[in-house]
């Protein structure tokens, strides 16, 4: 019989295999976590910028309308200016992949996004437009359904103004025209967490 056989290694065999498996799993998890994290970050970043692009386009369009109508000095113009300033502060590069300064590292993106949404709602209120937004994915699904569009739900009584042939809607008791900013087609759908992702 061989007397050089080490029984001590057999006592800790489970711990040895556990440590080897943990090291392999940790290395594998780092690789897959990085890949999946980039994919998720790209998807969520696109959703955020889709929303912010909508707000910026909305603000710039209304700014041009107000300038053209000569109402560039009213409350709505101030909301537009503040909304565009907030959107300009939103980071356009990933601060973890660049040498960002300390100010960008301390920027609270979710707080800034809440401020932008609040300013957008205030702007819509001052313009007399209902603040609604559909993601492009949901709007595309609605277009694919091809279901008939019911009378639009705007939350206010509207008269269709056909005087100029544009089909503008005007809220009763108001001279402010109201434009529909989203396509609410088909029957009402239940709101899901996917609908509320921004």
Query: What does the pLDDT look like over 130-184, one tens digit per residue?
Result: 887 666 666 666 666 654 443 344 344 444 444 444 445 555 555 555 554 454 5
Q: Do 183 and 117 fall into the same domain?
A: no
Predicted confidence band of residue 108 (pLDDT cuts 50, 70, 90): confident
pLDDT tens sequence across 43-70:
988 899 999 999 999 999 999 999 998 8
- Beta bridge partners, 170, equal 159, 177
pLDDT tens by residue, 5-44? 677 777 778 888 899 999 999 999 999 898 998 899 889 8
Task: Confirm whether 138 is domain-assigned.
Answer: no
How confident is residue 113, by pLDDT bands cut at 50, 70 and 90?
very high
Range of the domain at 179: 149-198
pLDDT tier at 197, thresholds 50, 70, 90? very low
> What CA–CA distances, in Å, run from 195 to 128, 133, 191?
24, 10, 6
pLDDT of residue 117: 93
Predicted local confidence at residue 148, as pLDDT: 42
108 & 180 share domain: no
pTM: 0.56
Give residue 189's pLDDT.
Answer: 57
Same domain? For 100 and 185 the reply is no
Residue 43 sits in the same domain as residue 75: yes
Please tell me whether residues 110 and 19 are part of one structural domain: yes
Cα angle for residues 88, 93, 97 (degrees, 5° grid): 155
- Same domain membership, residue 114 and residue 19: yes
- Hey, which residues does 159 pair with through a beta bridge? 170
pLDDT at 111: 94
Q: Do 17 and 87 have their domain in common? A: yes
Are 89 and 112 contacting, i.e. CB atoms less than 8 angstroms apart?
yes
Last residue of a domain, one of 76, 93, 127: 127
Higher-confidence position of 121 and 185: 121
The verdict on 90 and 171 lying in the same domain is no
**pLDDT in the model for residue 122:** 92
Q: Is residue 132 part of a domain?
A: no
> Is the same domain home to 38 and 109?
yes
Q: How many domains does the chain have?
A: 2
Other beta carbons within 10 angstroms of residue 148's beta carbon come to 8
Residue 56 and residue 89 share a domain: yes
In a domain, 139, yes or no: no
- Mean per-residue pLDDT, 113-122: 94
């Amino acid at each position: 019989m061989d007397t050089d056989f080490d029984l001590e290694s057999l006592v800790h065999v489970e711990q040895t295999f556990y440590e080897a498996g943990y090291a392999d799993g940790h290395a594998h998890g780092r690789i897959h976590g990085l890949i999946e994290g980039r994919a998720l970050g790209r998807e969520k970043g696109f959703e955020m910028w889709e929303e912010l692009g909508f707000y910026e386009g909305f603000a710039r369009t209304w700014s041009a309308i107000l300038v053209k109508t000569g109402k560039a000095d009213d409350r709505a113009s101030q909301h537009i200016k503040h909304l565009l300033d907030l959107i300009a502060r939103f980071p356009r590069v990933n601060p973890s992949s660049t040498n960002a300064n300390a100010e960008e590292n301390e920027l609270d993106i979710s707080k800034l996004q809440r401020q932008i949404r609040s300013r957008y709602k205030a702007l819509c209120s001052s313009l007399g437009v209902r603040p609604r937004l559909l993601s492009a994915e949901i709007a595309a699904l609605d277009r694919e359904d091809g279901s008939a569009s019911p009378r639009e739900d705007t939350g206010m009584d509207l008269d269709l103004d056909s005087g100029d042939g544009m089909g503008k809607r005007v809220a009763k008791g108001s001279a402010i025209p109201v434009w529909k900013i989203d396509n609410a087609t088909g029957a009402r759908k239940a709101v899901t967490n996917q609908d509320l992702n921004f």
